[in-house]
Amino acid sequence: MTNFADSLVEQIKAKGTPCVIGLDPRIDEMPGFVLSRAMAAAPDARRRTAISVFHDTVLEAISDLVPAVKLQLAFYEQYGLEGIAAFQDTVETARRKGLIVIADAKRSDIASTAAAYANAYLGRSEAFGVSSRVFDVDCITVNPFLGADSLRPFVDCCKQFGKGIFVLVKTSNPGSTDFQDRVLADTGTPLCERVAAMVHEYGSEAVGACGMSSIGAVVGATFPDEARRLRQLMPNAIILVPGFGAQGGTAADAVKCFKADGFGAVVNASRSVTYSSISSTTSLEDFIGTVRSRTMLMISEIRAALAERRD
Over residues 17-43, the pLDDT tens digits come to: 999 999 999 999 999 999 999 999 999
User: Is 170 known to be catalytic?
Assistant: no
In the chain the domains, ranked by start, together with CATH numbers, are 4-106+134-144+158-310 (3.20.20.70)
Residue pair 135/171 in contact by the 8 Å Cβ criterion: no
Distance CA 113, CA 111 (A): 6
Q: How many residues does the chain have?
A: 311
pLDDT band of 110, cuts 50, 70, 90 = very high
Q: For position 132, what pLDDT does the model report?
A: 92
CA angle 220, 210, 132 (to 5 degrees): 80
Report whether 80 contacts 45 (CB < 8 A).
no
Give the active site residue among 106, 159, 170, 259: 106
Residue 77's pLDDT band, with cuts at 50, 70 and 90, is very high
Q: How confident is the model at residue 247 (pLDDT cuts 50, 70, 90)?
A: confident
Mean pLDDT over 56-63 rounds to 97
> Above 90 in pLDDT, residue 70?
yes
Across residues 60-66, what is the average pLDDT?
A: 97
12 pLDDT tier (thresholds 50, 70, 90):
very high
Q: What is the CA radius of gyration of the chain?
A: 19
- pLDDT bin (cut points 50, 70, 90) of residue 276 is confident
- End-to-end, the C-alpha distance of the chain in Å comes to 37
What does the mean pLDDT of the chain come to?
95
pLDDT for 191: 95
Percent of the chain's residues with pLDDT above 70 = 100
pLDDT of the residue at 310: 79
Residue 223 CA to residue 230 CA, distance in Å, equals 11
Q: Are 91 and 135 in contact (CB under 8 A)?
A: yes
* C-alpha to C-alpha distance for 119 and 282, rounded to whole angstroms: 40
